Amino acid sequence: MAGSNGLHSFGRRYAHITGWGKALPDRIVTNQELEQIVDTTDEWIRSRTGIQQRYIAVDPRENAVTLGTRAAMAALDVADFPVSKLDLIICATSSPAHIFPSTGSLIQDALGAARAGAFDLSAACSGFVYAISIANSMIVAGQAESVLIIGTEVLSRLLDWSDRNTCVLFGDGAGAVLMQASPVPGGVLSTVLGSDGSGGDLLAVPAGGSSIPATLETVASGQHFIKMDGKAVFRFATRVMVEATREALDKAGMGIGDVDLMIPHQANERIIRSSMKQLDLPDDKVFINLYNYGNTSTASIPIALCEAIEQGRLHPNDNLVMVGFGAGLTWAATTVKWAVPGAREVPRWRYSQRQATYSLARVRSRLLRYSRQVENSLTSEEGDALGDVLAQRIEGWRKTREE
């Protein structure tokens, strides 16, 4: 933009969260129900983790794509943002619908976000904060105006429901935020990303990838289920949550006293409380909702963010810290200056308009598939053979004309 002195003045860009949404499967599974499945008790689960219930996708039609799409639609509704203008979709997930295509691409198709790039981000439970970091960099660098970030999980399909060490801990769900470029100072202030792959074996799904491909044996021995050394992960988590939070605050030029709200990854209440103690953060500055959801991996922070907003725990100009840890091992933290007021009133017709866009997206997807099939059949061997026959006939007809 040319300034009054004829020089170009390039204003700084900031990445703000402008929309948020969550989606959950219908079925709630309580600790008491788990008592019927494995050798556990409600008392053990509550006292060791804080979890009381979790949502589980029992409907086989529900998966990381369907939940992620619903959460994304909710976030776009809050921001009142047209899907046609989306630049990028980052889908953080530990339970993708497939190894490929990416869950992000399938969500892009379901939304009809025709202009958007899309990919999956694999950093386990730290994935959502990793995605915020990438979205922030893209927006600040001027590479994107709007980025939709989704954390979506159906971890219940990767759980061994006879292993009490893991099956009581996790839940299904999805959360999403829309991030947009703005000249208003605030939004993402700092990010910290970390990884220590030497601890990769502490929390893993051993088989099903290229290192141990799925075979009858791997399936029979349950190697495609989540395996975890709970105690080692616990020790790692309590250390990195504190370190990453301090580092992110330091990078933003803030101290612990500046924090208005911390939203930690919702894995275990004891991990969160240990971090709060070390950081000297009181109860009213930390948001915990794992009681109702269990550990939903990449979805835990955005689901908690939605609830914190619904409960009026975030106000304009608040300093928000989000911090996660997970398999990899990975960790990540971000500080955000919250700049948007609560959810805006969006006229009903705009909501209906967006629903119509999603119906059109389904038609668009079918048409694209159909046109690809037609194209394939025309260029396939049969198509070639048909082409040969036609060419011979035309040649024959030309010869008879010449004679």
* Residue 44 makes contact with ligand COA by CB under 6 A: yes
| Contact letters for ligand COA, residues 193-222 (x by CB under 6 A) | ----------x-------------------
| Contact letters for ligand COA, residues 151-170 (x by CB under 6 A) | -------------xx--x--
Contact 323, 333 (CB under 8 A): yes
Instruction: Compute CA 116 distance to the chain's CA centroid, rounded to the nearest angstrom.
Output: 16
SS3 (DSSP) at 45: helix
The DSSP-derived string for 198-234 is GGGGGEE--SSSSSS---HHHHHTTTTS-EE-HHHHH
Q: Which of 16, 63, 91, 125 is catalytic?
A: 125
| Contact letters for ligand COA, residues 312-331 (x by CB under 6 A) | --------------x-----
Residue nearest to ligand COA (CB): 230
Residue type, 3: G
The dihedral formed by the CA atoms of 62, 64, 67 and 69, expressed in degrees to the nearest 10: -120
Q: Which of 265, 268, 306, 319 is catalytic?
A: 265
* Residue 119 makes contact with ligand COA by CB under 6 A: no
Nearest-CA neighbor of 305 among 200, 201, 177, 393?
177
Stretch that binds ligand COA, among 112-120, 140-148, 194-202, 233-241 (CB under 6 A): 233-241
The C-alpha atoms of residue 153 and residue 65 are separated, in whole angstroms, by 9
Judge residue 176's burial from the number of C-beta atoms within 10 Å of its C-beta, 0-12 exposed, 13-18 middle, 19 or more buried.
buried
Residue from 56, 67, 107, 125 that binds ligand COA (CB under 6 A)? 125
Contact partners, residue 249, CB within 8 Å, separation at least 6: 190, 255, 256, 258, 259, 321, 335
Q: Which of residues 255-314 bind ligand COA (CB under 6 A)?
A: 267-268, 295
Instruction: Select 73 or 303, whichever has its Cβ closest to ligand COA.
Output: 303
SS3 (DSSP) at 297: helix
* Residue 46 makes contact with ligand COA by CB under 6 A: no
265 among known catalytic residues = yes
Q: Which of residues 175-194 bind ligand COA (CB under 6 A)?
A: none
CA atoms within 13 A on the CB side of 31: 18
* Residue 61 makes contact with ligand COA by CB under 6 A: no
Stretch that binds ligand COA, among 229-237, 334-342, 348-356, 387-395 (CB under 6 A): 229-237
Q: Which of 31, 63, 268, 295 is catalytic?
A: 295
Stretch that binds ligand COA, among 52-60, 73-81, 101-109, 228-236 (CB under 6 A): 228-236
The C-alpha atoms of residue 40 and residue 94 are separated, in whole angstroms, by 26
125 among known catalytic residues = yes
Q: Which of residues 6-25 bind ligand COA (CB under 6 A)?
A: none
Beta-strand relationship, 117-121 and 88-92: parallel
**Residue positions annotated with a catalytic role:** 125, 265, 295
Contact residues for ligand COA (CB under 6 A)? 40, 44-45, 48-49, 125, 164-165, 168, 203, 228, 230-231, 233-234, 237, 267-268, 295, 326
